[in-house]
Chains A and B, each alone.
Chain A
Amino acid sequence: MTSSSNSRIQAAPATGLSAPQLELEGVGVDFGATRALDDVSLEFAAGEIVGLLGHNGAGKSTLFNVVSGALRATAGSVRVAGREAGARPTPHEMAGLGITVIHQEPALAHNLSVLDNIFLGQEHLIERGRGEAQAAMALQRVGAEVDMYTAVATLGLGERQLVDLARGIVRGEMRVLLLDEPTAALGRAETDALHALIRQLAGEGTTVIYVSHRLPDILDVCERIVILRAGRVQEDGPASDYDGAALARALAPGLDQGAYRTRRVSSTTAVSLRGTFAGVSAAEGEVLGLFGMAAGRQFEILESMFGLNGRYRYELGGEEIVIGSPSAAMLRGVHLVPADRERDGLITGQSALDTVFLPWYSRIPGKGMWIGARTGETAYAQAREDFQVVGPGGEAPIDEFSGGNRQKHLIARWASVERPKLLLLSQPTQGVDVGARIDIARAVHAIAQQGATVLVASSESDEIDLLCDRAVVIADTQFTSLERSENFSGSLLATLLNLAEEASKGTVS
């Protein structure tokens, strides 16, 4: 208890140069009953650039957090250059071992200057009278051309990432550099500059672990590729073994295959987009997938169609409409199940019954003039049956249900009380267990069968594979339509990759 944090780092017997820079041995992490990481053993040599891939929930972030000290492993050990981290390492301790983490959104104090941020929390590193020189050197190393006296708030995201990196540089020896989606908000030129810097740091002996959804970026800079699936290492090999298609194949699992059944779709066009995505259209009763990168344009399209991004024009049922607000969308029979269900969909403490009926009280019999204990009971029971909801009764707060059942309530809200003409689903099966995924798929197909058009936006190919009759693959402003095929999710990813490469070539010239 009284020992300082440093004494908890046990010096291992010197093993000389043979010790890997970073070594994970049998690392496991449990969140309650969920196993986020399961017996992961990996070795990383000095100077290696490793791409870490996997779907959401595959364990990438968990692995990251274990190495950075933000999360404690429930099993196994982590060694940095042969020295074992203590049983309860802190981020501070891991930083002391030479681990630097650059998050997608750098954790900097926005109102302080670049200089202050570089030394924030590590003021002891300032050599008397040389603080500015140290900072200037670090900034020069990372290639950041910023005035160190300006506030961080005035910098762009790319520059903020570089400042964060400079924080790691002043700390001295940088053994391991973890990058989380570093290029998500960067343009082509900034990405190239960052990749050059990564190669330079690797050349000096830093091990770089690079997480990205952007497969072209991974293939561009990484020498080795590790793919995680359901908390385990699924593939681990040199990057030269992979091209886009091979990566896509490795990422697309056949987990939910068989849930989809070919359905007959009418030929009447029900929905077609205007503007950038003119040409994207869906028929009555069709489930159309919009597939793209994480945080890609496909989500924006659905939000716009629901009136969340100002006035948006498109064609619905042969009629041109302009939607400017959710209530206007609802009047037209356009319903959206948002991607972030906890933030945008559910309200903590609301009863399960209210969760389903809240938007509709003015339209149910009696118009919500008298809401008693039994109001909506039969319709709610029907919805529960349609979606196979498991959990406490309708009067219980929605937070007492599991994630999958919460999502079922949300979809029931938008699909079973009032039948939608156009149902927009944003990542409808994200963070939902396999059983619930199949229940949701069945319910969505039933809704489509009754004549509704369904659009599904997703960045996960197996979700599209599970739900959709056809897909449109979107990379930035480029898109292409893809019919259902044998290896649907694999070809989705491959198409996306090609599009993305074209798109990036387009911006470079």
Chain B
Amino acid sequence: MKLKRLDLKTELAKNGVFIALILLIIFFASVNPNFLTVNNGLNILQQVAELGLIAIPLAMLLIAGVVDLSVGSIASAAAVIAGITMANTGSLTFGLLAGLGFGLLAGAVNGVLIAYLGFNPIVITLGFLSVWGGLALLMSNGRTIPRSDLPEAFQMLGNLSLGPVSFRLVLLIAVALLAWYLLARHRIGRAIYAIGGSQRAAHMMGLNVVGTRFGLYVAIGFLSALAGIMLGAKLQSISPSLGVGMEMNALTVVLLGGVAFAGGAGRFGGVIAGLLFYGVLRNGLVFMQASPFLQTVIVGLTLVLAVSLDESIQKIVKRAWAKRGRQALAELDAEQPAMRLTNDHAGTNTRA
């Protein structure tokens, strides 16, 4: 019993972002009473839905020891391609097929170059960040595709909702559940951690290193395209720069969530907490009427602080708890051995 309890605390220590998230919510709620409402909660979730569609698969890529910096540009280009197709055909279906098809293709290109041919993921995806971003501008002549050119159905997609829950949030929840299942409960997840932990050892136990990474790139390409199209639907017009900076925001979320850049480590819950932290921080700063420029500064500082403090805080917390654990055990030893069983419970209560 006692050991389990201590374990729970160490688990929490590993994910300081949970604690930070709670503290942040408490802070904003005390500053503004309107912050902590169901409506605002849903609002926050909807605001980060598109970002989450990208951040969740990006976390899986990082755990597998690779990265994709081209996601924002894939989102922009996919939205533009979908927009042009819709403007010319008037069909939402064709637009979705074209946009999502492009996402799959862009992901596959990254996957072939990085997983199969072994090129450096940072270099390749940085290149495609430029390529697809430029392509989006080129195809649209740098102009936003206005609402009037887009079919009715596309506008409805932006407003679609199931009761109080918007469609984009349903998408996020579906992707999150699928990612949790794959990462935490499916053998693919075990393979992803193993590949990120040691590519060589993973290969030598017969795991499909190349195929797994390729699949992840295709998945993130698809989801980035989906996020771009959903963002366009939300804004009711398609700007060729709608995905600019998304790769950085997604990376911020993933790193806030405690995923290691080196690969092999990171947990699903942490990524979700990171996403919520990002959303709450942005939203709360709006409530405090901070300028959007200042928001960007604060988000960046938070990341720097989070990552640099993370390890030292972990050490301090672990040491403190280990000490308390030892004290509790010593107290226990001092008591009657016969009372140990019942005291186990009482002891934990008083310590709480």
Which residues of A come within 8 Å of B, CB atoms? 306, 308, 325-327, 329-330, 336, 338, 343-350, 354, 358-359, 361-362, 367-372, 413
B187 x A346 contact (CB < 8 A) = no
Cβ of A362 and Cβ of B204 under 8 Å apart? Answer: no
Kindly list chain B residues whose C-beta atoms are within 8 Å of the C-beta of A343. 198, 200-201
User: Contact between B207 and A349 (Cβ–Cβ < 8 Å)?
Assistant: no
- Report B-chain residues with C-beta under 8 Å of the C-beta of A349: 197, 264-265
Cβ A358 vs Cβ B185 within 8 A: no
With an 8 A cutoff between CB atoms, is B208 at the interface? yes
Give per-residue flags for B280-317: 1 if the beta carbon is below 8 A from chain A beta carbons, else 0: 00000000000000000000000000000000000000
- With A330-B206, A359-B206, A370-B185 known to touch, is A346 a contact of B201 (CB < 8 Å)? yes
Query: Are B187 and A361 in touch, CB under 8 angstroms?
Result: yes
Bound-complex Cα distance A348 to B265 (A): 10
- Whether B197 and A358, one on each chain, are in contact in the complex, defined by CB atoms closer than 8 angstroms, is no
Q: Select from chain A the residue with minimum beta-carbon distance to B181.
A: A370
Instruction: Say yes or no: is B203 at the interface (Cβ < 8 Å to chain A).
Output: yes
Q: Which of A326, A350, A361 has a CB less than 8 Å from the CB of B197?
A: A350
Q: Is the CB of A347 within 8 A of B186?
A: no
Please name the residue on chain A nearest to B188 by beta carbon. Answer: A368
Q: Which of B179-205 contact A (CB under 8 A)?
A: 185-187, 189-191, 193-194, 197-198, 200-205
Contact: A336 with B207, CB < 8 Å?
A: no
Q: Shortest beta-carbon distance, A490 to chain B, in Å?
A: 34
Say yes or no: B206 contacts A369, CB within 8 Å: no
Q: Shortest 7 CB-CB distances between A and B: which pairs? A: A368-B187, A361-B187, A347-B197, A327-B206, A359-B205, A330-B206, A326-B206
A346 and B208 CA atoms in complex are apart in Å by 17
List 8 other contacts, CB 8 Å, given A348-B198, A371-B189.
A326-B203, A326-B206, A343-B198, A344-B200, A345-B201, A358-B205, A372-B185, A413-B205
| Nearest opposing residue in chain B for A363, CB measure | B187
In the complex, the answer to whether B204 meets A336 with C-beta atoms within 8 Å is: yes
A306 to B: closest C-beta gap in Å = 8
A-B contact pairs, 6 of them (CB 8 A): A336-B204, A348-B264, A358-B205, A361-B191, A368-B187, A369-B187
List A contacts of B197 (CB < 8 A): 347-350
**B208 CB contacts on chain A under 8 angstroms:** 327
Q: Is the CB of A308 within 8 A of B201?
A: no
Contact A367/B200 with A326-B206, A349-B264, A358-B205 known, Cβ cut-off 8 Å: no
Q: Are A370 and B203 in contact (CB under 8 A)?
A: no
B-side residues, CB < 8 A to A, are 185-187, 189-191, 193-194, 197-198, 200-208, 264-265
Once bound together, how far apart are the Cα atoms of A17 and B241, in whole Å? Answer: 83
Query: Does A347 lie within 8 Å of B202, measured CB to CB?
Result: yes
Other-chain contact of A359, B186, B189, B207 (Cβ < 8 Å): B207
* Complex Cα gap A394–B198 (Å): 20
| List of A residues within 8 angstroms of B194 by Cβ | 347, 350, 354, 358
Task: Please report the C-alpha to C-alpha distance between residue A358 and residue B202 in the assembled complex, in whole angstroms.
Answer: 9
Partner of B187, one of A326, A345, A348, A371: A371
- In the bound complex, what is the Cα–Cα distance between A361 and B265 (angstroms)? 20
Dominant secondary structure at the A interface: loop
Complex Cα–Cα for A344 and B194 (A) = 12
A329 to B204, CA, bound (A): 10
A338–B200 Cα gap in the complex (Å)?
Answer: 11
Taking the nearest CB of chain A, how far is it from the CB of B5, in angstroms? 16
Q: Identify the interface centre among B194, B202, B203, B205: most chain A CB within 10 Å of its CB.
A: B205
B198 to A, closest residue via Cβ: A347
Q: How many angstroms from the CA of A157 to the CA of B206 in the assembled complex?
A: 34
A337 and chain B: residue at smallest CB distance: B204
**CA distance in complex: A343, B200 (Å):** 8
- Taking the closest CB of chain A, its distance from the CB of B11, in whole angstroms, is 12
| Chain A residue at minimum C-beta to C-beta distance from B197 | A347
How distant is the Cα of A369 from the Cα of B189 in the complex, in angstroms?
Answer: 10
Residues of B contacting A338 in the complex (Cβ-Cβ under 8 angstroms): 204
Tell me which residues across on chain A come within 8 A of B205, comparing CB atoms: 326, 345, 358-359, 413
CB-nearest residue of chain A to B208:
A327
Q: Which of A345, A358, A367, A413: most chain B CB closer than 10 A?
A: A358
Residues of B with C-beta under 8 A to A327? 206, 208
Determine which of B190, B203, B264 lies in contact with A361 in the assembled complex, contact meaning CB atoms within 8 Å: B190
How far is B198's CA from A349's CA once the two chains are assembled, in angstroms?
11
Which residues of the other chain, B, contact A344 by a CB distance below 8 angstroms? Answer: 200-201, 204
A306 to B203, CA, bound (A): 11
Asked if B207 contacts A358 (CB within 8 A), the reply is: yes
Would you call B264 and A326 a contact (CB within 8 A)? no
Query: Would you give the shortest CB distance from B265 to chain A, in whole angstroms?
Result: 6
A311 → B minimal CB distance (Å): 16
CB distance from B196 to the nearest CB of A (A): 9
- A345 and B186 form a contact (CB under 8 A): no
B184 — nearest CB in chain A belongs to which residue? A371
Q: Which of A336, A358, A368 contacts B186 (CB under 8 A)?
A: A368
A470 to B180, CA, bound (A): 51
Q: Which residue of A lies closest to B205 (CB)?
A: A359
The CA-CA distance from A325 to B211 in the complex, in Å, is 14
Known interface pairs A347-B264, A349-B265; A358-B204 also in contact (CB < 8 Å):
no
Least Cβ–Cβ distance between A270 and chain B, in angstroms: 21
* A292 → B minimal CB distance (Å): 22
Pick from B193, B198, B203, B264 the residue with the most CB of A within 10 Å: B198
B190 and A371: CB pair below 8 A?
A: yes
**Measured CA separation A367–B186 after assembly (Å):** 9
